[in-house]
Chains A and B, each alone.
Chain A
Amino acid sequence: MATIINADTSNGLKLTSDTSGEIELQSAGVTKAKITSSGLQNASGVAITSQAGKNRIINGNMMIDQRNSGGVTTPANNVYTLDRWNAGLSQSSKYSVQQVVDAPSGFYNSIKATVLATVSLGATDYFMLKHKIEGNNVADLNFGTANPETITLSFWVKSSVTGTFGGGIQNSNESRGYAFNYTISSANTWEYKSVTLTGDTTGTWDKTNGTGLWLNLALGVGTTYSKSTGSWGAGPVLSATGATNLLATGSATIQFTGVQLEANTTATPFEHLQYSQQLELCQRYYTKFTATNAYSTFGFATAATNARMTTQYHFPTTMRAAPSTSYSGTLCVLYGTGRANITSSPDSQLNINGGYVNYDVSGTPFTAITYSGLIGANNDVNCSVEFNSEL
């Protein structure tokens, strides 16, 4: 026999929990789903997140590191570290970045910044981790209109230093920005933070394949680029006024993971993707063909001259823009039974799906342009070919 509960007011039907904060949905006496203070969960307590693509941050759980494979890097300014995470710095060699296996429950990796040399901040100094979101992926947020969406940024953070830290959200040309802050209460302890803000009603916000929205997680920023929190204003806005300077403390560390930016008035559970899904999202901006054995091959090549091979590449996903390309290690052309090492690359003609790269080899091994072969590693497991179309 069905039991029907009808609302008797104009406010709809509301179910209110007791002080436990939990509401369960049961069938035949068995819990099938529940609502807790953490949101909607299945019977096992795992978050139910049906809004696919809600997280505008790519690699927010720091699982992809194509460039460094978990190695420590001391980045130059505006250089990418873990996939999609860019280092911003006004002075070189002050901090390192690494993907580490250290994360709160529900995560595996985090991005870790370590202070290498202390800095007393000048007014225009800045040290931060940046994440630029493509305009296509935030166009629906309606920033720059009379009706922008409310967005919520959430993340896990752990630092050896306690205090109030800062960050900023900007448009592509840094003419508009919003500063936010958050407090780290306990040293070396994972803490969950969220910031909710209404989008900007003015300014120019890219809605194409350029930078649509730019998130800064500040490590230390001088007064010129630090602004008051809680409202949109003229940029650049890299951090919040009065925020803690991590670089004031030698060997200090800060880690982030579970970074999520969603169109919502409150933070919801992190959207976990399969590894291959996350990798493909990253490959739109940076693709690295890496040798999986000493003689891995990457593409098909045909002779353009007796010392040059034209190599065709096909990208695993459509890239954001025609990419730049480079290679590392001992790259060679495998032709017949011979191998000719690559000495340089004169030019390329790549588009968002693939294209060709010309490579010059030592000597003149190709006696006719009918020669064809494969491009790949020559006894080098560290050989790789890179394609970059980052923001």
Chain B
Amino acid sequence: MRYKKTINGITELESSLCIKKIDSNGKEWIVPKNPANTDYQEYLEWVAEGNTPEEADEI
């Protein structure tokens, strides 16, 4: 599992609303920073283990 920061598609600044998850099959998911979303819960656990997300893709 990998994670990337995302860029707000309107403001083109780093998004405070989403992160990008690249799953074990290489598939990309846009994950909302919503505490009830289990993908986001997994991301927070991953960060708590000392990991940091990759920088967002250039746009």
- B1-24 at interface with A (beta carbon < 8 Å): 6-10, 15, 17-18, 21, 23-24
Q: How large is the interface on A (under 10, 10 to 19, 20 to 34, 35 or more residues)?
A: 20 to 34
Other-chain contact of A349, B17, B27, B29, B36 (Cβ < 8 Å): B17
Which residues on the A side are within 8 Å of B24 (C-beta)? Answer: 76
Cβ B30 vs Cβ A322 within 8 A: no
Q: A76-B24, A390-B38, A391-B38 are in contact. Are A308 and B31 (CB under 8 A)?
A: no
The residue from A76, A210, A308, A350 contacting B36, defined by CB atoms under 8 A apart:
A210
Chain B residues within 8 Å of A224, by CB: none
Q: B27 near A324 (CB under 8 angstroms)?
A: no
Number of interface residues of B (CB under 8 A): 26
Number of A-B contacts (CB under 8 A): 73
Query: Quick check: A308 and B9 within 8 Å, CB to CB?
Result: yes
Which residues of chain B have C-beta atoms less than 8 A from A388's C-beta? 29, 39
Chain A CB within 8 A of B32 CB: yes
Task: Say whether A324 contacts B59, CB under 8 Å.
Answer: no
Q: Which of chain B's residues have a CB closer than 8 A to the CB of A358?
A: 9-10
Q: Report A301-349 residues with CB < 8 Å from chain B CB.
A: 304, 308, 310, 320-326, 328, 344-349
**A360 within 8 Å of B (CB atoms):** yes
Q: Which residues of B contact A201 (CB under 8 A)?
A: none
Does A347 lie within 8 Å of B29, measured CB to CB?
no
Q: How far is the CA of A109 from the CA of B8 in the complex (A)?
A: 43
Q: Which residues of A contact B (CB under 8 A)?
A: 76, 209-210, 304, 308, 310, 320-326, 328, 344-350, 357-358, 360, 388-391
> A324-B37, A391-B38 known; 15 other A-B pairs, CB under 8 Å?
A321-B36, A322-B37, A323-B32, A324-B21, A324-B39, A346-B56, A347-B7, A347-B30, A348-B17, A348-B32, A349-B17, A358-B10, A388-B29, A388-B39, A389-B37
Pick the 4 closest A-B CB pairs, nearest first.
A358-B9, A321-B36, A322-B34, A322-B32
